[in-house]
Structure formats: C-alpha cells, structure tokens
Amino acid sequence: MPKLQLLPPKPGTCPICATIHAPEMPHNQQSFFYQYKFHNEHGRFPTWKDAMYHCTAEMKTLWIKELTTYNINIPK
C-alpha cells in the first residue's frame, strides 16, 4: 500500500491522532488521521494497545476495563 499523504492536524488537536484529548489519555484509535499516520510509519493499522502505549499502567487498566464492556478485548 502506498503511503498516504496527510494534511497536518487542526491546531489545538493531538499531533498524533488529530483529536482533542488530555496528554495522559490514549490516542483515538478510531481516528482516520491516527490510523493512516500509524500505518505510514509502521506498515500496519494501530490497535487500542498501540493507542495506549504512552499511558500509565493505571490508565491502561481503566481503558481496558471500559473497552471490554464494548466487547473489545485487548491481548496481553
């Protein structure tokens, strides 16, 4: 798949996922911008685990618990 050229994210949004979130929160794994930025850099689409990579263990635990309520299982 050829690399997709993305426009810069809107000012005031996260430069990684182009959405507004606190720095300690995961990136928006469902953001089109994040999915294609990640794909351009890693050759695959991101998982929720990738989106939470920078988060603390406590934040990851909270998000994993919440995601499982939506039947989204995060592999260990």
In this predicted structure, what is the pLDDT of residue 75?
82
What distance lies between CA 41 and its chain's CA centroid? 13
pLDDT at 2 over 70: no
In this predicted structure, what is the pLDDT of residue 4?
75
Q: Where are the domains of the chain?
A: 1-76
Phi, psi for 35 (deg, rounded to 5): -60, -45
Q: What is the mean pLDDT of the chain?
A: 93
Q: What's the start-to-end Cα distance of the chain, in Å?
A: 28
Place of tokens 């089109």: 32
**% the chain with pLDDT above 90:** 86
Q: pLDDT tens-digit profile of 46-74?
A: 999 999 999 999 999 999 999 999 999 88
Contact 33, 17 (CB under 8 A): yes
The tokens for 14 are 């996260």
The tokens for 56 are 């603390």
